[in-house]
Chain A
């Protein structure tokens, strides 16, 4: 018996990286999946966007586990489009129990007084407003089930600490904590739990790019993954440079499962002790 057997999970940003990993981990433990992803570039993002092929691969891997998946292209910035994708998924899979608000971006970086309106707005729209949209679209379905539920918001170490040159990201990810705490209060009477996860650097395309390498190794002309590793490790207490997507998925799984039936309102770091530094 899987740890989320028979449940249905809605995951944003599910084409690749952490989102795909969450979909697979929850499916391994018995859940069916409703997956959405933008599949388009965000202006100024310093890495390539996920593609339809990426989302197709998520579908293939979930189906290989003999679980069902409804995958569609949707933009978390667009509430109506996101709602339709979720409503269609629930209509097909019959229920909703778990939400992983995972979709997020990294953009070009700059000191706060040099951030442009576009850099700021793109970030807030996706990493904060997109998370609200995800919860808002899901709440009616969770409430309608009458069985409680679990909403897991992906914040960041940057949701509990400040970092120079990414004020837009830090602000959005701190905002997610406020959203989490308020949702946890509002939804407690329905036994719907809401928690956030705070990863240190995760080995995915969002950080494995030159913009992030430069943030961590600003003194090098052309920093590489190899240059990034020791600088990244220096932020952690455990002697590792970064965590893997599955480490975040295992935290999502714990919070989503009935093992955490009374855990709500918690910001949970999966950060190799980064917060201790």
Chain B
């Protein structure tokens, strides 16, 4: 018996990276999946975002586990798109129990210099998009009358300031405020709301030349390899590792989503190799 057997989970940003990993881990433990992803580029994001083929690969891997998945191209910045995708997914899969509001972007610049659009895109995706995911899901979870679990992906940047990513820090702190308020509002329905706070995760969002330049501006571009950057990322952590893997975040999402955490709500859970210390 899987740890989320028979439940349905809605995962945003599910085409690749952490989102795909969450979908797979939950499906391994018995959940069916409603997946959305932008599968397209946002101009202010300095690395290649997901493609439709990435979302197709997530579908293939879930179906290989004999679980069902309803996958849709949708933009978390557009509430109507998110709502339509969730409504359609619930219509096909019959219920909703778990939400992983995972979709997020990364970009850089000091707050003194950030361009208006770079700031706005960040808040629109990483904060407003999280609200949209929760707002679209809440009626379905309530309708089930069985309670539920919403897991918001924040960051260590949701718990502390970090230079050159002030817009990201502001959005991820905002997610904590959203989580704490949702946890209070939804408690009467036994719907739990928590946030996870990863340190650097080994995905395309950090493994790209733009992020490497942020972490190693002193190195010539030719020397910005995964190995040299590993030492830079690792310096953030207390455990002697450069970054964590997507599955480490998925395991935290799984625990929070499962009935083992039936009385855990309003919690900020770092998965950060001791970065907060």
CB distance from A238 to the nearest CB of B (A): 5
Smallest distance from the beta carbon of B160 to chain A beta carbons, Å?
A: 13
Query: What residues of A have a CB within 8 angstroms of the CB of B199 in the complex?
Result: 262
Interfacial residues of chain A within 255-277, with CB under 8 A of chain B in the complex: 259-266, 268-273, 275-276
Partner of A240, one of B263, B267, B270, B276: B263
Contact present for B240 and A238 (CB under 8 Å): no
Do residues A265 and B276 form an inter-chain contact, with CB atoms below 8 A?
A: yes
Q: Are B276 and A262 in contact (CB under 8 A)?
A: no
Asked, given contacts A188-B274, A238-B190, A265-B276, whether A254 binds B248 with beta carbons under 8 Å apart, the answer is no
- Which of B240, B266, B277 sits near A184, CB closer than 8 Å? B277
Q: How far is the CA of A76 from the CA of B245 in the complex (A)?
A: 38
Residue B208 CB within 8 A of the other chain: no
The answer on a CB contact under 8 Å between B187 and A185 is no
Q: Are A276 and B192 in contact (CB under 8 A)?
A: no
In the complex, chain B residues whose CB is within 8 Å of the CB of A261: 248
Q: How many A-B residue pairs have CB under 8 A?
A: 107
- State whether the Cβ of B188 lies closer than 8 Å to any Cβ in chain A: yes
Most buried by B among A261, A263, A265: A263
In the complex, whether A191 has a CB less than 8 A from a CB of chain B is yes
> Judging by beta carbons under 8 Å apart, are B263 and A243 in contact?
yes
Q: Encode B222-257 as 1/0 by CB contact (under 8 A) with A.
A: 000000000000000011110010001001101100
In the complex, are the beta carbons of A266 and B269 less than 8 A apart?
yes
Asked if B262 lies at the interface with its beta carbon under 8 angstroms from chain A, I say yes
- Given A247-B263, A254-B255, A273-B266, the answer on whether A265 and B277 have CB atoms closer than 8 Å is yes
Residue A250 is within 8 A (CB to CB) of chain B in the complex: yes
Which residues of B sit under 8 angstroms from A251, Cβ to Cβ?
Answer: 260-261, 264
Residues 11-40 of chain B: 1 if any A CB is under 8 Å from the residue's CB, otherwise 0?
A: 000000000000000000000000000000
Task: Report the separation of the CA atoms of residues A238 and B187 in the bound assembly, to the nearest whole angstrom.
Answer: 5
When the two chains form their complex, are residues A262 and B271 in contact, meaning their CB atoms are under 8 A apart?
A: yes
Checking B241, B266, B271, B274 against A185 with a beta-carbon cut-off of 8 angstroms, the contacting residue is B274
B-side contacts of A264, CB under 8 Å: 238-239, 273-274, 277
Q: How far is the CA of A91 from the CA of B276 in the complex (A)?
A: 36
Bound CA span A87–B12, Å = 49
Let me know if B97 is at the binding interface, CB within 8 A.
no
Question: CB distance B239 to A262 under 8 Å?
Answer: yes
Q: Is the CB of A268 within 8 A of B267?
A: yes
The smallest C-beta distance from A257 to any residue of chain B, in angstroms, reads 8
0/1 string, A197-240, CB within 8 A of B gives 1: 00010000000000000000000000000000000000001111
B64 at the interface (CB under 8 A from A): no
Contacts of B255 in A (CB 8 A): 254, 259
Let me know if A260 and B190 touch, CB within 8 A.
no
Q: Do B265 and A238 touch across chains, with their CB atoms under 8 A apart?
A: yes
Residues of A contacting B267 in the complex (Cβ-Cβ under 8 angstroms): 268-269, 271, 275
Residues on A with C-beta less than 8 A from B241 are 262
Within the complex, the shortest CB–CB distance from B263 to chain A, in Å, comes to: 5
Whole-angstrom distance between the Cβ of A68 and the nearest chain B Cβ? 25
A83 contact set on B, CB distance < 8 A: none
Q: Closest Cβ of chain B: how far from A191's Cβ, in Å?
A: 6
Contacts of B260 in A (CB 8 A): 247, 250-251, 253-254
Q: Which of A181, A253, A265 has most chain B Cβ within 10 Å?
A: A265
CB contact between A273 and one of B184, B248, B274, B276 (< 8 Å): that residue: B184
A35 to chain B, nearest CB (A): 22
Looking at the complex, which one of A184, A239, A268 makes contact with B269 (CB distance below 8 Å)?
A268
Residues of B within 8 A of A239 (CB): 187-188, 190
Give the CA-CA distance A121 to B113 in the complex, in Å: 56
Question: Hey, which bits of chain A sit against chain B, CB under 8 A?
Answer: 181, 184-185, 188-189, 191, 193, 200, 237-240, 243, 247, 250-251, 253-254, 259-266, 268-273, 275-276
18 extra interface residue pairs, beta carbon distance < 8 Å, beyond A262-B239, A273-B265: A185-B274, A185-B277, A188-B239, A188-B273, A189-B240, A250-B260, A254-B255, A262-B241, A263-B271, A263-B272, A265-B270, A265-B276, A266-B269, A268-B267, A270-B261, A270-B263, A273-B183, A276-B183
